Structure 1
Amino acid sequence: MGDAQSVHVRVRAAALQMLGYRVTLITPRKGEVVACPQVSPEDCLVSAGLWGKLGTRLAKLRAVHTIFARYRGDATHIHFAQGLWAGLGMLFGAKPLIVTVMGGDVLFREQGRSSWADRMLTRLMLRSAELVTAKSEHLASVIRSLGVHNDRILVMYWGVDRQHFKPSQGGEMRRALGLAPDSFVLLSSRFLQPLYNVDKIVEAFPLILRRVGHAQLLILDCQAEPNYRMAIIRRISELRLEGKVRIVPPVPHERMPEIYAASDVVIGVPSSDGMPMTVLEAMACGKPNVVSDLPHYQELLTNGKNVLVCPPLSASIAEAVCQLASEPELQARLVENGFRTVEQRADLAKDLVRLDERLTPLLDGRPRMQPIHVRLQVAALLALAALTQRPGPSL
């Protein structure tokens, strides 16, 4: 279960299918490219009659129940351990339960927009799971603090498909984007949302131009918050950067290697994070990264070895970029060590072998439902959480 419009959900569902599992992705919103069948409530929606909004919600809830009656399968895998959709997976799905946390679902204090009921549901979900996958040791420690025993946690980066993400020439994409061959191209690769401090990258750019006059900045227009996007556009105009900073339309995941290839440096400086896949993908494509000084990055990312680290402040970002632009030896070192990091510690093929070893014994038994007392708790927490009216994928 997961949002098929999330590239992480799509890639992981496809990876499980590659392992030989028969996968059906149950999703609140269908995605454009998914390697396995996907089912949403609209596929099983019954008429709401004259009940109005309440009738529509009840009809959609019945549709979800119908989906699970048809596609319950031998196990339930929930991607993102928070919210109504995940709770329904627990309520109607089969055990064993596998949960993949993504960061914002468990980092309550850092990214705390969840209600008390949401947090309690996440705790219950994680404690009820037979297996929880975490993208970093930091997330694993958070999961342990929520009451999950260590032997039920698998730390895996859901690494990079190295057959797809690999070094290549970026000339064709540069020409398509209208970039000069000799431009020093910076790529802001994270979501266009306040958490990712894209505004700080824009503020840093005039400082960069003073020392690297041929620099260009590409900002991916990915999962943008409309108000934040408009603020970024206004700031670009105020700084008179229209010819130097470009917001690039969303790029399909399968074409991201072309965007990395067209770039010289990839920048991602969020205030909070799990373990960024964009950094690993850029490393696999042979590109150096500038990243935030988040302490838990240190388990995989080392300043001056495979990345440059800086606080998410404009002056610091500018200094890091200018250092890379002026030191080819530093660029080469980050690229070489970054590529080796992915090869040794974040290779999707190797991660899937480890995951398969954990899944196989879980699927030996007969599938079953969650105990009735757990389902009653889930139902109560879903009812409370619904009262908060949090935005996002919903029924």
Structure 2
Amino acid sequence: MNIVYLGWGHHIHLRRWAEYFAKRGERVTVLSLTPPGSELPKVRMIPLVCARRREALLKAEIRLWLRLLRADIFHVHWAGFAPLAAGIGHCPTGITAWGSDIYKYPSYSEQVQQSIRNALKFARFVTCDSYDLKSRIAEISGRQDHVHVVQWGVDTDLFRPGLDTTAWRERIGIHGATRVVYSPRSVNEIYNIDKVLEAFARLTYFRPDTVLIQKYYNADPARLQKLQELAARLEIVDRVKWVGEVAYEDLPALYNLADIMVTVPHSDGTPMALLEGMACGVPPVVSSVPSVLEWIEAGRNGLVVPAGDSDGLFQAMKRLFNEESLGREMVVHNLRVVEQRASQNVSMQKAHLIYRRTCSP
């Protein structure tokens, strides 16, 4: 099978799909709208030279590459890019929605809404990572028979409990019996990192042995500075460890370093950070957004708080530190959930079946 992807070639979500199918022996090409980053084994990365030019030129370049590559499947990652595939006609086109591309749909202009709506309606297949997203896509496109829930998939051979965290402890400067709260989402406003900082500041009065690890990949410098200034006002500068880009293979040990994980956005699909943390045995505190609640049952395998509620977040973190047996029970449950519902092999086998059906006459 000859698969051509369109999207952000540097992004781990797209790279997971491409790498998986390349390892299966499929011919895989990524048409990248950004500098594609490091090479992937057996994957051809093609930066689109018209990515920052007029849409008509970009469409023409995409059409040319599809003709030259003789694709069997053209798979667009991110619904906002799907209109670029409209009318190409060289091969069946599929779309993977990532979350905010659908949740932000009401804020788009009527012209953009129309183009996305048509692209979703006439795609041969659409995938998404939650049933909530599926229902939103059905509302927009007017159909759901071609929409499939397919997770990005966690590599459970890589993301697992019990990994050595020594290198991370030395890198960040964490010593002894220090306890760790890990906030793996970026500093974009939607993720409520200001509320995470406020809640953590209160936690340090009860648990002065804690530190917060806060990711800030792809950060807006002004937003990052604002949050760092907030940390200074809250007098937790020495308790917050800011971590930027992390190599994919280094992520599992970072999760293993954590005693608690927090991800509390206002809006979300199914966050890979949540599933990866669950696979590594980290009890989660999450916000009550529909896609996340498809995975987390409050009190059983995680604690749930309203998005933007710093007091609720503080109380949840405090409870997990005070009731360690509860956290251990959550870990046991979550390892089973990930293996059954979120492993990469299970998810990509489902995607492979969709591809095969799409290519069948």
Asked if Structure 1 and Structure 2 have the same fold, meaning a TM-score greater than 0.5 normalized by the shorter chain, the answer is yes
- Aligned with residue 16 of structure 1, among 11, 17, 21: 21
**How many residue pairs are counted as aligned between the two chains?**
352
- For residues 293-340 of structure 1, what are the alpha-carbon distances to aligned partners after superposition, in whole Å with 9 as ceiling and x for unaligned? 123422221111111111231111111111111111011011111111
Match of 2:132 in 1: 138
- Aligned with residue 141 of structure 2, among 143, 147, 150: 147
Return the alpha-carbon distance in structure 2 between the equivalents of residues 91 and 7 of structure 1: 28
- Partner-residue secondary structure (3-state), 1:151: coil
How far 1:139 moved relative to its partner? 0.6
How far 1:72 moved relative to its partner? 4.5
- Aligned with residue 39 of structure 1, among 27, 40, 46: 46
Pairing 1:202–2:207 present? no
Q: How does 1:170-319 map to 2 (within 5 A)?
A: 170-312=165-307, 313-319=309-315
From the superposition, tell whether residues 19 and 148 of structure 1 become closer, same or farther in structure 2 (CA, over 3 Å). farther
Pairing 1:337–2:342 present? no
Return the alpha-carbon distance in structure 1 between the equivalents of residues 56 and 345 of structure 2: 42
**TM-score w.r.t. structure 1 length?**
0.84
How far 1:113 moved relative to its partner? 4.4
- Partner-residue secondary structure (3-state), 1:95: coil
From the superposition, tell whether residues 72 and 91 of structure 1 become closer, same or farther in structure 2 (CA, over 3 Å). farther
From the superposition, tell whether residues 353 and 193 of structure 1 become closer, same or farther in structure 2 (CA, over 3 Å). same
Pairing 1:359–2:359 present? no
Whether the 8 Å CA contact 1:270–1:292 is kept in 2: the answer is: yes
Return the alpha-carbon distance in structure 1 between the equivalents of residues 262 and 184 of structure 2: 6
Q: Which runs of 5+ in 2 are unaligned?
A: 1-5
Return the alpha-carbon distance in structure 1 between the equivalents of residues 32 and 172 of structure 2: 34
How far 1:158 moved relative to its partner? 2.2
Amino acid at match of 1:169: D
Return the alpha-carbon distance in structure 2 between the equivalents of residues 146 and 59 of structure 1: 27
- Partner-residue secondary structure (3-state), 2:326: helix
Identity %: 28
What RMSD, in angstroms, separates the aligned Cα atoms of the two structures?
2.1
- Partner-residue secondary structure (3-state), 1:320: helix
- Partner-residue secondary structure (3-state), 2:262: strand
Return the alpha-carbon distance in structure 2 between the equivalents of residues 117 and 17 of structure 1: 36
Q: Which runs of 5+ in 1 are unaligned?
A: 46-52, 366-395
How far 1:193 moved relative to its partner? 0.2
- For residues 29-87 of structure 1, what are the alpha-carbon distances to aligned partners after superposition, in whole Å with 9 as ceiling and x for unaligned? 13323421110123x89xxxxxxx98x8876665444433322411210001114xx32
Pairing 1:25–2:30 present? yes
Amino acid at match of 2:75: H
- Aligned with residue 92 of structure 1, among 72, 88, 92: 88
Return the alpha-carbon distance in structure 2 between the equivalents of residues 125 and 58 of structure 1: 16
Larger Rg belongs to:
1
Amino acid at match of 1:11: R
Return the alpha-carbon distance in structure 1 between the equivalents of residues 47 and 37 of structure 2: 13
Pairing 1:4–2:2 present? no
Worse-matched range after superposition: 345-354 or 15-24: 15-24
Return the alpha-carbon distance in structure 1 between the equivalents of residues 165 and 22 of structure 2: 31
- For residues 155-213 of structure 1, what are the alpha-carbon distances to aligned partners after superposition, in whole Å with 9 as ceiling and x for unaligned? 12222111111111323311221111311111111121000001110111221001111
Match of 1:393 in 2: none
Whether the 8 Å CA contact 1:17–1:23 is kept in 2: the answer is: yes
From the superposition, tell whether residues 145 and 320 of structure 1 become closer, same or farther in structure 2 (CA, over 3 Å). same
How far 1:272 moved relative to its partner? 0.3
User: Higher relative contact order at CA 8 Å, sep ≥6: structure 1 or structure 2?
Assistant: 1
How far 1:138 moved relative to its partner? 0.5
Match of 1:105 in 2: 101
Return the alpha-carbon distance in structure 2 between the equivalents of residues 266 and 283 of structure 1: 9
Return the alpha-carbon distance in structure 2 between the equivalents of residues 286 and 218 of structure 1: 17
Return the alpha-carbon distance in structure 2 between the equivalents of residues 71 and 151 of structure 1: 29
